[in-house]
Structure 1
Amino acid sequence: MGENLLPREKLLIYGEESLEDKELLAIILRRGIKEKNVFELSEEILDKYGDFVKLQKLDLNDLVKIKGIGEVAAINLKAALEMGKRYHLQKLKVTYKKIKSPQDAYEISQDMIYYEKEFVRVYLLDSKLNVIHSENISEGTANSSIAHPRDIFKIAIKLNAVSIILVHNHPSGDSSPSIQDIELTDKIKEAGKILGIKLNDHIIIGNNQYYSFNLSRKVEKDA
């Protein structure tokens, strides 16, 4: 049912949630090129870049270099992706005031999937797991982050935090921990024991996935 409908017709009848990613992209691109129609072009672009998060990270010049995307289509695509990103982040602002689980930490840190470099963020919690403060404490490269326990606990002590949650992103999209991530977690955990400030978890943010050191496993999320 609806298999032969064009994306615009499908949206009108069944709603926007019924559309596949390639159909949404086809609506924005509007037309294809001589060698392929707009659906084939959309599918080829998504096959190459993976998903909208990766497309969003391309600048206008990169988009224009893709065969079949002219300047107007590139501008429309950048605007649509930015609008989706802003909606996503604005929705998050009114959601979580407590972090009671790794899932909460992942959800509240969704803005980090858009970062092109690794950042380390600390959430400071009170005795009831309310977030009393959050801050990006270090900026790394596309492949690594540098954080020192001193920087993390300096602010935790100042604001009388009972516990902390550490979160950092992997721009590659793979949330698997590196040796450096494991070593950092061990250092923070040991320093916290001495200072009386517990490390509740260390979360690594990937693309539709996260790794929780508290769970000791990766959690895949639906796109």
Structure 2
Amino acid sequence: MSLKMLPEESRPREKLLARGAQSLSDAELLAIFLRTGLQGMNAIELADFLLREFGSLRSLLSSTQTEFCSHKGLGSAKFAQLQAVVEMTKRYLAETLKRGDALTSPEQTKHYLSSVLRDRHREAFYVLFLDNQHRVISDEVLFEGTIDAASVYPREVVKRAMHHNAAALILAHNHPSGVAEPSDADRRITRRLVDAMALVDIRILDHFVVGDGEVVSFAERGWM
């Protein structure tokens, strides 16, 4: 059935405008993005089919171009559009974080770090550089390692912190295994970095570990 034949309140675009984006299902949101369906399949039916094929909305959003374009109804133009949507989301979260105090919005910080790190296939060590009011000056991936570990060099973190004239740092890294629980090695390198930064009077406020569905805060565990 064509979307035009559905009652107006059941059409994704009209429903979004009337009730807000949060009222839509994953399939309905994806249908708005797709705009059109295929022969014998309207946009909502195509969206539902794709979500079942990929397993989840997240898997679709993080798919490679080859994976994405191998499904009927999807091509390089839609892949480019999707990547633009994903990147705009990351930049929106980054902008929101940089406008305020990272410590007064821990959930916003977790959302942003998760968007940057969660779907990486290799471990990455990420740093938020903060001014003396704990506002974000800059952020960088400083180290990338194998799927199991990243080699983190305190002198390089000190160098980048001095470059940005940072007063404080928030650290983060991902666990490609999907398990966010910090390891003993994570706690050891955090302690080394805290000690190294103390020599140049720069505080480390927190260290987040990003997993598949959880972000663990060292500060919340009482480890900082």
**Is the Cα contact below 8 Å between 1:53 and 1:114 reproduced in 2?**
no
Paired letter, 2:95: V
Q: Percent identity?
A: 30
Question: In the alignment, which of 73, 98, 103 is matched to residue 100 of structure 1?
Answer: 103
Number of residue equivalences = 211
Q: Cα gap change, 1:74/1:19 in structure 2, threshold over 3 Å: closer, same or farther? A: farther
**Superposition RMSD on alpha carbons, in Å?**
3.6
1:117 to 2:122 alignment: yes
Q: Could you state the TM-score of these two structures normalised by the residue count of structure 2?
A: 0.71
Alignment of 1:52-131 (within 5 A): 52-66=57-71, 69-70=72-73, 73-75=74-76, 77-97=78-98, 98-101=101-104, 102-109=106-113, 110-113=115-118, 115-131=120-136
**Is the Cα contact below 8 Å between 2:182 and 2:216 reproduced in 1?**
yes
Question: In the alignment, which of 159, 163, 168 is matched to residue 168 of structure 2?
Answer: 163
Question: In the alignment, which of 3, 10, 13 is matched to residue 5 of structure 1?
Answer: 10
Partner of residue 185, structure 2: 180
Unaligned runs of 5+ in 2: 1-6
Q: Could you state the TM-score of these two structures normalised by the residue count of structure 1?
A: 0.71
Partner of residue 139, structure 2: 134
Measure, in 1, the Cα distance between the counterparts of 2:55 and 2:188. Answer: 31
Measure, in 1, the Cα distance between the counterparts of 2:76 and 2:44. Answer: 19
Q: Cα gap change, 1:20/1:185 in structure 2, threshold over 3 Å: closer, same or farther? A: same
Q: Cα gap change, 1:194/1:76 in structure 2, threshold over 3 Å: closer, same or farther? A: same
**Is the Cα contact below 8 Å between 1:122 and 1:137 reproduced in 2?**
yes
